[in-house]
């Protein structure tokens, strides 16, 4: 299944990391089956470290050597070790695809989402600390994150631009990539993806439609996230297959692929592959949590170019949303703020849980 998707231009990355899958060979097996990358975020690390005993021995060993280490230092030691191992596991994919795939993403602290300069310094520090060419630093597409993305790309650091929900967010990130790549010392060696969030849009918009309650509004439930994402893919094609990118392409620069994020189905009434099958397209990435990846392999269908289906309907859906009284721009701006807040909360909960674990092990 994963190789079938690769044949039609879509790479599947795993939205999950945990030491167990590094130790027991599960990640290696998934790579053999066609998995082509991995992403992480504060919520994933919270679930991995605080939700298991996988890390107890590593924590204990580190505390023996560094008995007074603060909790942030212990977390970074654990996370960096996992990210390095995952990057090494994908090294052959990175080599065999000539740097198209094989990437592992590590996010800067979500508490820096509104601080450009500290985001830059932290991203550079993490890049040097991990020291793997197939690392991507995740930076949120906030107003403060956009200039950081430009600077990082310009200095040759791979970037996964994240927390995008709207066309405005996407266009700002694409322009940041173009501006950064124009200044990169070697455009051929810089990679970036634009992580566009999908299911959270329906979760937000559906609630607004249900409050309105008319037949027209209710008919739009479960349709907006895919339409919103498809509209962004159309814009991707305009930018990266048009004049804006022509010169950089000639210099060896790669297009900044769209990555579909938040692809698990939140509403149990909806198809479990609602945010996967309709978004299959050339030069895209879909990052899947384990349950969605399992569903895809069990009963998924690969349709080449599905993301381009019904182009008129895509924009009709967005227009109808306005007609029934929902402001998509306002909703997506709120989603970005909420996304930063959720990741910040997860990070704080992780630090609290890890601090308790450190005390127990001490």
102 backbone φψ class: left, alpha, beta (φ>0; ψ -120 to 50) = left
Q: Which of 138, 204, 211, 266 is the catalytic position? A: 138
CA angle (346, 350, 199) in 5-degree steps: 25
204 is a catalytic site residue:
no
What is the distance between the alpha carbons of residues 244 and 223, in angstroms, rounded to a whole number?
Answer: 31
Please return the burial class of 235, using the count of CB atoms within 10 Å of its CB with bins 0-12, 13-18 and 19+.
middle
CA angle (29, 35, 41) in 5-degree steps: 105
Neighbours of 200 (CB within 10 A): 21
What is the distance between the alpha carbons of residues 327 and 196, in angstroms, rounded to a whole number?
Answer: 19
CA angle (46, 48, 52) in 5-degree steps: 115
List Cα–Cα distances, 330 to 34, 104, 127, 176, in angstroms: 38, 32, 34, 22
Report the catalytic residues: 138
């Amino acid at each position: 299944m994963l190789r079938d998707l690769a044949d039609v231009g879509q790479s599947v990355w795993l939205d999950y990391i945990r030491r167990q899958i590094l130790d027991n060979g599960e990640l290696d097996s998934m790579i053999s089956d066609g998995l082509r990358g991995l992403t992480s975020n504060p919520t994933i690390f919270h679930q991995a470290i605080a939700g298991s005993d996988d890390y107890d021995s590593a924590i204990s060993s580190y505390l023996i050597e560094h008995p007074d280490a603060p909790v942030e230092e212990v977390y970074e030691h654990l996370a960096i070790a996992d990210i390095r191992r995952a990057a090494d596991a994908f090294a052959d994919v990175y080599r065999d695809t000539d740097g198209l795939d094989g990437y592992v993403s590590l996010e800067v602290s979500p508490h820096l989402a509104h601080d450009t300069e500290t985001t830059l310094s932290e991203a550079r520090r993490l890049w040097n600390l991990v020291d793997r060419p197939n690392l991507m630093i995740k930076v949120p597409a906030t107003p403060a994150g956009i200039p950081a993305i430009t600077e990082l790309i310009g200095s040759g650091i791979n970037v996964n631009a994240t927390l995008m929900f709207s066309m405005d967010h996407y266009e700002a990130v694409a322009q940041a990539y173009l501006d950064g790549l124009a200044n990169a010392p070697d455009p051929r060696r810089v990679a970036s993806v634009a992580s566009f969030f999908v299911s959270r849009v329906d979760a937000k918009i559906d609630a607004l439609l249900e409050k309105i309650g008319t037949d027209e509004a209710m008919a739009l439930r479960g349709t907006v996230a895919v339409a919103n994402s498809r509209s962004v893919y159309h814009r991707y094609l305009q930018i990266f297959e048009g004049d804006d990118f022509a010169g950089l392409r000639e210099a060896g620069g790669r297009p900044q692929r769209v990555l579909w994020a938040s692809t698990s189905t939140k509403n149990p009434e909806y198809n479990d592959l609602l945010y996967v099958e309709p978004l299959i397209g050339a030069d895209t990435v879909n990052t899947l949590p384990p349950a969605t990846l399992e569903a895809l392999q069990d009963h998924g269908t690969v349709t080449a170019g599905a993301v381009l289906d019904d182009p008129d309907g895509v924009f009709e859906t967005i227009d109808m949303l306005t007609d029934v009284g929902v402001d998509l721009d306002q909703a997506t701006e709120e989603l970005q703020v909420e996304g930063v807040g959720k990741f910040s909360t997860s990070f704080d909960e992780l630090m609290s849980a890890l601090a308790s674990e450190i005390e127990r092990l001490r």
